[in-house]
Amino acid sequence: MKILVTGGAGFIGSNFIHYWLAKYPADSIVNLDLLTYAGHLSSLSDIENDPRYSFIQGDITDAVTVEKAITGVDLIVHFAAESHVDRSILDPLVFVRTNVLGTQILLEAARKHSVRFHHVGTDEVFGALPLESDLKFTESTPYDPRSPYSASKAASDHLVRAYFHTFGLPITITNCSNNFGPFQDPEKFISRMITNLLTGQKVKVYGDGKYVRDWLFVEDHCRAIDEVVHRGQVGETYLVGGLTEDFNNLEITRKVLQIMGKDDSEIEFVTDRPGHDRRYAVDWSKIQRELGWEPTKDFDACLKATVDWYQAHEDWWKPLKAQSEAIYK
């Protein structure tokens, strides 16, 4: 199989390329990535000369580039997006451009060439759950996005389904919860926290810290996409989530502090994010029931492995750190 991965120089895309080439030695991957601030070829330096891998620097909103990249491709796995909620509050336009228009351009190319399309979505499209509840998002939860990021991702999900219903394009969608792990840009909560601590800065906790995310180790996400691509039902959506038992941001912070031998004096409460979604929780029983997927990893062990990875890969994240902090100045 020849796969077009979009956004393969980003966090999840680069983990996915590593995962796939290791598991399926006969497959090849074309990585189409614009290399925005979030795209890092340093995440793929170990495979840059692998004959099964090729890279095209280009924009998914550019139909000519996409047409070139799709040649001979059997499957598109679409990760490319503007992905950071805080940035979407500062500059929403590029989120609409990349996440909505870019997805449409790819869908159109996939339609023209009859290519199977897997869309990587987020649980944020479903809005926010109350803190004191055991409610979870399911595949039938109504969409209720609340940030420019989640609104643009919601629009892209709708377009993907529209291409299935209107044009019969063979699509699948996964909506996944918060990922963490190696190669995550230091702008996101866990990677920012670890790299702040490694550079003598405090952990910045938004608001009261009582915000809940459904954390998933990135490799588990890659495995879920693998299952859906191979055995998922065309036209269907699968929710993907973790096993973190409703730890809030403050509890996650304390776990990282403990792993790194630090204490609460490293916590700084800062101004809250506007429109901050209180709680996300994902019911992933459909993918478990139909495809046998479940998050197998122990959360604490994955968190420790992630801290270890950042400690050992300063050369990867140090050059990115000043830029990721600049948006908060």
53-57 and 179-180 beta bridge pairing: unpaired
List beta partners, residue 122: 176
| Residue corresponding to tokens 């940035």 | 87
Query: Known catalytic residue: 132?
Result: no
Query: From the list ligand TDX, ligand NAD, none, which binds 295 (C-beta under 5 to 8 Å, kind-based)?
Result: none
Return d(Cα 3, Cα 172) in angstroms, integer: 15
Asked if residue 221 binds ligand TDX (CB under 6 A), the reply is: no
Q: Which of 33, 59, 82, 123 is catalytic?
A: 123
Q: Where are the alpha helices (DSSP H) in the chain?
A: 11-23, 63-69, 85-90, 93-95, 103-113, 148-167, 189-198, 218-231, 249-259, 285-291, 299-312, 314-326
- Toward ligand NAD, which CB reaches closer, 236 or 266? 236
Find out whether 122 and 150 touch, Cβ atoms under 8 Å.
Answer: yes
- Toward ligand TDX, which CB reaches closer, 129 or 205? 205
Return d(Cα 144, Cα 135) in angstroms, integer: 15
Find out whether 154 and 143 touch, Cβ atoms under 8 Å.
Answer: yes
Non-local (6+) Cβ contacts of 61 within 8 A are: 97, 98, 101, 102, 105
Find out whether 206 and 142 touch, Cβ atoms under 8 Å.
Answer: no
267-270 and 203-206 beta bridge pairing: parallel
- Toward ligand TDX, which CB reaches closer, 122 or 172? 122
| Minimum separation from the CB atom of position 146 to ligand NAD (A) | 15
Asked if residue 202 binds ligand TDX (CB under 6 A), the reply is: no
* N-to-C CA span, the chain: 46
Query: Known catalytic residue: 149?
Result: yes
Asked if residue 204 binds ligand TDX (CB under 6 A), the reply is: yes
Q: How many residues bind ligand TDX (CB under 6 A)?
A: 16
Query: Known catalytic residue: 123?
Result: yes
* Residue 101: how many other CB atoms lie within 10 Å: 16
- Toward ligand NAD, which CB reaches closer, 7 or 232? 7
- Toward ligand TDX, which CB reaches closer, 24 or 247? 247
Q: What is the DSSP letter of 273?
A: P
Query: From the list ligand NAD, ligand TDX, none, which binds 182 (C-beta under 5 to 8 Å, kind-based)?
Result: none
> Which sign does the torsion angle of CA 19, 188, 252, 303 carry?
positive
The residue range among 66-74, 109-117, 199-207, 237-245 that interacts with ligand TDX, by the rule CB under 6 A, is 199-207
Binding site for ligand NAD (CB under 6 A): 6-7, 9-13, 33-36, 38-39, 59-61, 79-83, 98, 102, 120, 122, 153, 176, 178-179, 185
Query: From the list ligand NAD, ligand TDX, none, which binds 241 (C-beta under 5 to 8 Å, kind-based)?
Result: none
Q: Which of 19, 149, 163, 238 is catalytic?
A: 149
Non-local (6+) Cβ contacts of 128 within 8 A are: 144, 146, 277, 278, 279, 280
Q: x/- binding map, residues 235-274, to ligand TDX, per CB under 6 A?
A: --------------x-----------------------x-
Position of minimal CB gap to ligand TDX: 122
- Toward ligand TDX, which CB reaches closer, 83 or 244? 83
Asked if residue 205 binds ligand TDX (CB under 6 A), the reply is: yes
Select the residue interacting with ligand TDX from 118, 213, 223, 279 (CB under 6 A).
213
- 221: tokens are 């996400």
List beta partners, residue 137: 282
Which amino acids are annotated catalytic?
123-124, 149
User: Which residues lie near ligand TDX (CB under 6 A)?
Assistant: 83-85, 122, 124, 178, 188-189, 192, 204-206, 211, 213, 249, 273
